[in-house]
Structure 1
Amino acid sequence: MSETRRHRAGRAPAKEDGRTARARSTRARITAAATDLFTTAGYTTTSIAAIADKAGVSEQTVYYAFGTKRAILTTALDLAIAGDDEPIPTLERPWVRDALADPDPLRQLRRQVAGAGDIYLRAAPLLDVVRSAATTDPDLAEVWTVNLRQRLTVQRVFADALARKAALRDGLTAEAAADIALALLSPETYNLLVNDRGWTHQRWHDWAADALARLLATPDLHA
């Protein structure tokens, strides 16, 4: 869940001119082509030439737009996680704000699961590409480490909110609650159950929501 994208509050977006719109459209085509290739052929075996061919542009255009293959992947991952190209970090997204503001602890947890699920519907295949390639590619190892740290940051905010609502199980710290949520709502678990074991997304959602409530919340809340 990317925290690197920022929104400049109070400034209306400038209207795009024709050149900017074309450049944005070209970047979108390149990103879409790369996403398809990364998730089907793999990151390592996908070349800039293959991405350019699939996007219908020249290799030079790809290099001009992104510079490196890693930059294409990180851009594609940011877009998949956010669901759009607006520079708004995860913790400022409406679904996070709604979950944190919900006074009912169980509803907060269900909103957490739903939000993570929406992200994984878009981003789970790309996250798996990054995780797999990180074992041999130092650059992608850094990308994976940053992503993990960002996801933990989000879960810590959720855990602190749950603690303020006096809803954590006895003896469970907010730090431990964040670790549990990080593991249970991880892309690895999602990919294992949905993509490898054939669960439906809804089955994963129901299981994760129930498990998170039982592991984090006081028993009286879900008795």
Structure 2
Amino acid sequence: MTTPPAPPAPGAAPASRQKRTGQAVRDRSRLRLVVAAGEVFAARGYTGATVQAIADRAGVSLQTLYAAWGSKRALLRAHLEFTMTGSATAVSEGRWAPTVGAELEAAAAPDPATRLRALASFFRSLAERVGPVWRLYREAAAVDPEIATDHAELERGRRRTLTAALAGLDDGCLRPGLTRSAAVDTLLVLAGPATYETLVEGRGYSLDEFEAWLAGTLIATLLRSPDAAGAG
């Protein structure tokens, strides 16, 4: 006699809902810790911040903090990613750079100068959000070798993102003698945290002035002039 299949265990569906609820609670705790870490880092700096202070600020136990993120170092990275993208994991998971490329592609017409103006506008909005965190990351990298390694990887990622941002420009658009690699290096410096800090925080440029300066400088530095184009 064939044994009939066993019926679903009582409460199977509620257990699934319970699992989803538990994950939602963990996700909220993780996000609350990232926000709290940003507030504590802003007030105390990286070295002055403690995991206990972050846990207290988030209203969770130290055990919850370690289970969620593992370390203060990981929370610094999550804080940077959250400030950049609105997600604490978008950069690490490789979801941010393609989105940036798509946004720039949608915002820019085929005209090379328009593309560079769109890039300047994007960098201005990014720097406005992330400027203080860039500085915090550099300060932390100076005292923590693992953060220094992470910072170097972030810089390599920034170069990959900017390489993709210039991919829509034909080589013929570039200034004579300027290789694509050198164009990316130029973009890396001009649309970089140090340039933003020098002009906005040091020289007192408004964000509008900074964006206009960056767009004009990128166009003048990277693109073939109309006269050169005509001569070619």
Q: TM-score range by the shorter chain?
A: 0.7 to 0.9
Matched, 1:153 2:156: no
Structure 2 counterpart of 1:75, which letter?
Answer: A
Q: In the alignment, is the contact (CA less than 8 A) between 1:95 and 1:111 conserved in 2?
A: no
* Residue 76 of structure 2 corresponds to residue 73 of structure 1: yes
Q: Which residue of 2 aligns with 1:197?
A: 203
Distance 1:81 1:148 in 2: 14
Q: Specify the alignment match of 1:97 in structure 2.
A: 105
Distance 2:86 2:218 in 1: 24
Greater relative contact order (Cα < 8 A, sep 6+) = 1
Look up the equivalent residue of 2:53 and give its one-letter code.
Answer: A
Compare CA radii of gyration and give the structure with the larger one: 2
Q: 1:191 to 1:95 in 2, by over 3 A?
A: same
Instruction: Indicate yes or no: 2:25 matched with 1:22.
Output: yes
Distance (whole Å) between structure 2 residues aligned to residue 61 and residue 84 of structure 1: 20
Secondary structure in 1 matching 2:34: helix
The CA deviation at 1:125 is: 1.2
TM-score normalized by the length of structure 1? 0.84
Distance 2:152 2:173 in 1: 30
Distance between the aligned counterparts of 2:125 and 2:62, measured in 1? 33
Q: Quick check: 1:210 aligned with 2:216? A: yes
The letter for the 1-side match of 2:146 is D
| Match status 1:220 vs 2:223 | no
**Structure 1 40/189 Cα, relative in aligned 2: closer, same or farther at 3 Å?**
farther
Q: Does 1:34 align with 2:37?
A: yes
Query: How many angstroms does 1:89 deviate by?
Result: 2.6
Segments of 5+ residues of structure 1 without an aligned counterpart are 1-14
Tell me if structure 2 keeps the 8 A contact 1:91–1:97: no
Matched residues, number: 206
Report the residue type matching 2:201 in the other structure: N
**Preserved CA contact (<8 Å) 1:32 1:76:** yes
Question: What TM-score comes out, normalization by structure 2 length?
Answer: 0.81
- Between the aligned partners of 2:45 and 2:202, the Cα distance in structure 1 is 17
Aligned letter for 1:70?
R
Indicate conservation of the 8 Å contact 2:46/2:139, yes or no. Answer: no
CA-based RMSD:
2.2
Structure-to-structure mapping, 1:115-126, within 5 angstroms:
115-126=122-133
For residues 90 and 116 of structure 1, the distance between their equivalents in structure 2, rounded to whole angstroms, comes to: 13
**Superposed structure 1 runs of 4+ greater than 6 Å apart:** none
**Counterpart residue type for residue 109 of structure 1:** L
Please list every run of 5 or more consecutive structure 2 residues that lacks an aligned counterpart in the other structure.
Answer: 1-16, 228-232
Shift of residue 163, structure 1, vs aligned partner: 3.0
Q: 1:19/1:97 Cα in 2 relative to 1: closer, same or farther (>3 Å)?
A: farther
**1:61 alignment partner, one of 55, 61, 64:** 64
Letter in 2 for 1:71: A
User: What are the superposed Cα offsets for residues 144-184 of structure 1, whole Å, 9 maximum, x if unpaired?
Assistant: 101110111122223343234x2111111111110000000
